[in-house]
Amino acid sequence: MGAMPADKNTLLDNLISTTKLLNYPKIKQLSKEFPKYYVKEIAKSELQNIRDIILNTPAESLDAVDISSESIEAKVDMRVRAEFRPSIRPAINAAGIILHTALGRAPFAEAAQEALMNAVRNYCTLAVDVPTGKRGDRYVHVEGLLKYLTGAQAACVVNNNAAAVLLVLNTLAEGKEVVISRGQLVEIGGAFRIPDVMHRSGAVMVEVGTTNRTHLYDYEEAINENTGMVQVVHHSNYRITGFAGEVPLADLKPLSKKHNIPLVEDIGSGCLIDFTHYGLPPEPMVQDSIKAGADVVTFSGDKILGGPQCGIIIGKKTYVDRIKKNPLCRALRSDKLTYSVLEATLKLFLDRKTLFEKHPVLHMLTLQTRTIGNRARSFVRKFKPVLGKECEIDVINGESQMGSGSLPAQFIPTKLVSLKSKNMSADELGYKLRMSEPPVFSRITEDRILLDFRTIHPREIQTLADVVVEALRNSRV
Ligand SMILES: *Cc1c(COP(=O)(O)O)cnc(C)c1O
C-alpha cells in the first residue's frame, strides 16, 4: 500500500546517470564552448526535471514520457545554448512602427555606431579638459551643437525626457505652483503621467482651463506670488479635434515675462527640421519654441531625433545653469555611450543634403512607396518558388506609423507583404516568427501576417525570407 508502481521505479532506475550524460557528444561539445561547471549544473537540473515528471505522471500515461538519453541530451543542449544566447539581440521590425519603443526606438546611423565603438573600445575623453588634463564637463560634447541647431543659449543632457521634465520642475518650481492647461495633463506610454511627475518633483500643480479649451485669461487668473513656472506640454500621442483650443506658446510669453516666471515647454519629440518641406505632416520644431520665447524646452533624444535614449534640456543660460547644479542632475546623468551616439547623430543635422540618406529614422520615414513596393516584391520573388503553394502571398497597400507618440494621428502609406498559411493561423505563424532567430515582429489583420517593408532594411530581406520559410515549414508535421 502506498508503494510506488513498479514501472515508475524501473523508469527512475533506468534513467541515465549525470556522469554518463556528461560523456554524450553534444554535452562534451557544450563543455568545450561554455563553462564546464555550468553545463554540469544544467545537466543535473534536466535529469531532476525528468525524475519529477516521472513521479507526477499517472502510471497509465507513463508510456508517453520520453526518458531516452538522447532526448535529455538534446534538452540540455538547447537550454545551455538558450541561456548563453544574448538576451538583447538583433530583431527584425516588420511591424512598420518606425520608433518602436519595445524594439529599442531609433536604429543608429553608421557614424553613431562608429562613435559608440570608439568611445567604448578603450578610454575616451568623456569628462576631461584635454589641454589642462583637469576634470572637465561632459556637456561640452553636445552643448555647442545643440545651441547651434536650436538657437538656445545653453543645453544639458539627462537619462531621458521623463527625467528632463522632472529635473526642470524640481529645479525651477519645488515648493511652488506650476500653472498648466487641463488639456495638457497627458499620459505618455510607459507610465509617464504629467500630474504624477509634477507631484514627485515637489511642485504644486495648478490646473487651468478645461479638457478641450484653455484661454490666456485662465493662465492670467492662476498666476500669483507662489507661481514658480508655466508648463506647456505637447500632447504627442493624441489629438483633440472639434471645439478645442490651446494658448500658443508665443501668446503666453508676454504673461510669463510680465510676472518674471519661466515658461517651460515639454515638446516630446525633438524635431529639428521642417517636416512639411518633405511632404510630411507638421511636427513642432524645437527651434520654433525657442524663437517663440520658451525659457526652457525638454525633448527626447530617441524619438524623431533618432539618437540614443536621453532627455535634452535647452534654454536660457541662467535656468540651464541652475538645472546643471541640481544634485538630481547628477543622479540622472548620461554616460559615454549616450554622449558618443548623441554627438554623432546631431552632427548629421549639420548637412541637410546627406541627412535623409544617413539618418535611419528620417530615411525610413521618407522612403517612397515605390521603393518599398520594389523591396516587398523582391522578397516575394525569393519566397514564392519555395513555399508559394502552402501559403497565399501578396503585396498590398497599407500604413506605417511613426510610433513613440510622434505624428500620432498620421498614417504613412506603405507596401505590405500579406501572408496566409494554409496550415496554421496567423497567431500561430506570428508566434513562430517571434520565436525565430532573429525574432521577427509583424502585424496581424484578418488572420493574415503583414510584413511592412518600410522598416525592413534591404540587408535583412534574405534573412527574413529564410525565417519565414522555416516558420511555415515547421507547421508541416
Ligand atoms: C515621449 C514623451 C515624454 C517621455 O520621454 P522619454 O524620453 O520616453 O522619457 C515626455 N513628454 C512628452 C510630451 C513625450 O512625448
Q: Which atom, in ligand 1's list, is nearest to the CA of 186?
A: 13
Q: Which atom, in ligand 1's list, is nearest to the CA of 267?
A: 13
Domain closes at, from 328, 354, 380: 354
Ligand 1 centre and the CA of 188: distance in Å?
A: 6
CB 156 within 8 A of CB 140: no
Same-domain status, 292 and 405: no
Give me the pLDDT at residue 190, please.
72
Ligand 1 centre and the CA of 420: distance in Å?
A: 37
**Ligand 1 atom 15: the closest Cα is on which residue?**
268
Residues 272, 303: Cα–Cα separation, whole Å: 11
**Ligand 1 atom 11: the closest Cα is on which residue?**
268
Same-domain status, 187 and 319: yes
Residues 185, 168: Cα–Cα separation, whole Å: 17
For a mutational test of ligand 1's pocket, the pick from 99, 158, 161, 246, i.e. the residue with the most ligand atoms closer than 8 A to its C-beta, is 161
Domain closes at, from 330, 354, 378: 354
Residue 1 lies in a domain: no
Ligand 1 centre and the CA of 268: distance in Å?
A: 5
Give me the pLDDT at residue 60, please.
84
CB 43 within 8 A of CB 29: no
Same-domain status, 374 and 343: no
Residues 309, 328: Cα–Cα separation, whole Å: 18
Q: How many CB atoms lie within 10 A of CB 20?
A: 11
Same-domain status, 317 and 220: yes
Residues 206, 407: Cα–Cα separation, whole Å: 28
Give me the pLDDT at residue 477, please.
46
Question: Cα–Cα–Cα angle for 334, 324, 259, nearest 5°?
Answer: 135
Q: Is 77 in the pocket of ligand 1 (CB under 6 A)?
A: no
Q: Is 308 in the pocket of ligand 1 (CB under 6 A)?
A: no
* Domain around 39: 6-83
Same-domain status, 50 and 177: no
CB-based contacts of 219, cutoff 8 Å, min separation 6: 179, 181, 208, 230, 247, 252, 255
For a mutational test of ligand 1's pocket, the pick from 188, 235, 246, i.e. the residue with the most ligand atoms closer than 8 A to its C-beta, is 188
Residues 24, 408: Cα–Cα separation, whole Å: 56
Residue 361 lies in a domain: no
**Number of independent structural domains in the chain:** 3
Ligand 1 centre and the CA of 252: distance in Å?
A: 22
For a mutational test of ligand 1's pocket, the pick from 298, 300, 310, i.e. the residue with the most ligand atoms closer than 8 A to its C-beta, is 300
**Ligand 1 atom 5: the closest Cα is on which residue?**
161
- Which positions of the chain have pLDDT values less than 50? 1-2, 476-477
Same-domain status, 316 and 382: no
Domain closes at, from 320, 354, 388: 354
Same-domain status, 249 and 152: yes
Q: Within 13 Å of residue 329, how many CA atoms lie on the same side as its CB?
A: 18
Same-domain status, 59 and 181: no
Q: Is 162 in the pocket of ligand 1 (CB under 6 A)?
A: yes
For residue 19, what is its C-alpha cell? 556522469
Ligand 1 centre and the CA of 190: distance in Å?
A: 9
For residue 208, what is its C-alpha cell? 487651468
Residue 123 lies in a domain: yes
pLDDT tens-place string over residues 282-335: 889 999 999 999 999 999 999 999 999 999 999 999 999 999 999 999 999 999
Ligand 1 centre and the CA of 408: distance in Å?
A: 13
Q: Is 150 in the pocket of ligand 1 (CB under 6 A)?
A: no
Q: Is 233 in the pocket of ligand 1 (CB under 6 A)?
A: yes
CATH number, domain at 467? 3.90.1150.180
Q: Is 159 in the pocket of ligand 1 (CB under 6 A)?
A: no
Same-domain status, 273 and 301: yes
Helix axes 110-121, 336-348, angle to 10 degrees: 150
Give me the pLDDT at residue 1, please.
45
Ligand 1 centre and the CA of 68: distance in Å?
A: 54
Same-domain status, 332 and 374: no
Q: Is 270 in the pocket of ligand 1 (CB under 6 A)?
A: no
Q: Which atom, in ligand 1's list, is nearest to the CA of 189?
A: 1
Ligand 1 centre and the CA of 265: distance in Å?
A: 12
Residue 174 lies in a domain: yes
Q: Is 418 in the pocket of ligand 1 (CB under 6 A)?
A: no
CATH number, domain at 276? 3.40.640.10
269: left (phi over 0), alpha (psi -120 to 50) or beta: alpha
CB 260 within 8 A of CB 230: no
Residue 347 lies in a domain: yes
Same-domain status, 214 and 274: yes
Residues 174, 203: Cα–Cα separation, whole Å: 5
Q: Is 177 in the pocket of ligand 1 (CB under 6 A)?
A: no
Same-domain status, 137 and 224: yes
Residue 360 lies in a domain: no
Q: Is 184 in the pocket of ligand 1 (CB under 6 A)?
A: no
CB 295 within 8 A of CB 256: yes
58 to 5, 46, 198, 382: CA distances (angstroms): 10, 20, 58, 49
